Structure 1
Amino acid sequence: MEQEGRVILGLLSAVFVLAAAGYVWLRMMQIKDRLAGMAAMVGPMILGMLPSATLGVAVGVLLPHDLTPPTMLAVLFGLAAGFASGRPFGLAAVLEGMSAGVMGGMMGPMLGVMLGATAHLLLLFMDLVYLFMMLVLLQYLDSQADEGQSASGLLRLRFTGAVLLFAAGLCVIGYMLWN
């Protein structure tokens, strides 16, 4: 049962990371024309680093016997996320995003593979930290884009509620699988 639980939780975590990263990337692309300076660097850096690290932990938990596949997958995802999120802002943002993606892609799998019986706890913790950071990034990007006149607040509120509900469900499932 414990191995099945690790697989289920690892897959749920990976889906969560990919969905949240996709949503934040889409939001950043919607407001890219109004972002400049540090906002154009911070977004790609966070979208390169955090998803690749969290995805790396999830894949490391799923494949605990070999560090190579989780590292390769997480690094490639970090490179792609860093490139895609930095491209609209220039080469410096691309380099920042891609290098952060490589760094996260190397750290996450190491942590995921090294974990033992408490892997589910760290995976849940990483998902919650990831959720918090993505919400802060969304708030920062929106504040930098100066979006007082759009209806994005309602969309962001719905997204936040859905993500919080998913995270709570993930925690409950994780708790039920190991207790």
Structure 2
Amino acid sequence: MSIAFYETNAQSFFDRTVHADMSAPRAAFAARLPPGGRVLDVGCGSGRDALALAGQGFQVTATEASPALAELARAHTGLPVQVMTFDQLAWTAAFDGIWACASLLHVPRADLAGAVGRLRDALAPGGVLWMSFKYGTRDRETGGRAFTDLDEAGAQALLAAVGGLELLAMDVTGDVRDDHGSERWLAMMCRRL
């Protein structure tokens, strides 16, 4: 359902998100990576963060589930963007960091621990995972997209179910987009044990 939304609305979504200012969390993430480290931007959307991280000298691999959005991200970044869903991830200890900005939130709650477990497995030991969700406790459908919201308790339960990840930081913030002022987000930075 969510992929179909992005296929139909790829250009408008790209236009609304490509300039969203994620520099502060991205800097905190990048600070935990080795220089020139290997980064996976999973569900890269417009490619905004993949481009910024590549510009900092990281070796970036990007994935996106929507073929139309992946094509826009390729054109924007000049990077290859693999069309791939979370259940297709099969890397093992391949990355120093994984950036999952507003992408895991489309995974159904029943499948979320499995998806995060695949991301954990894709990290080298000591690698860091940054992920964000809309804040709340509901599973909902809005405008053709499915959302799995997380609050602090839900985030802790997810990490306990996944195992092998140490929580380094958890933040609740407002939305960086001007037209989404009332929305809140929960972000987690974790390290693979």
Same-fold call, TM > 0.5?
no
TM-score, scaled relative to structure 1: 0.29
TM-score, scaled relative to structure 2: 0.27
Looking at secondary structure, tell me which structure has more strand per residue.
Answer: 2
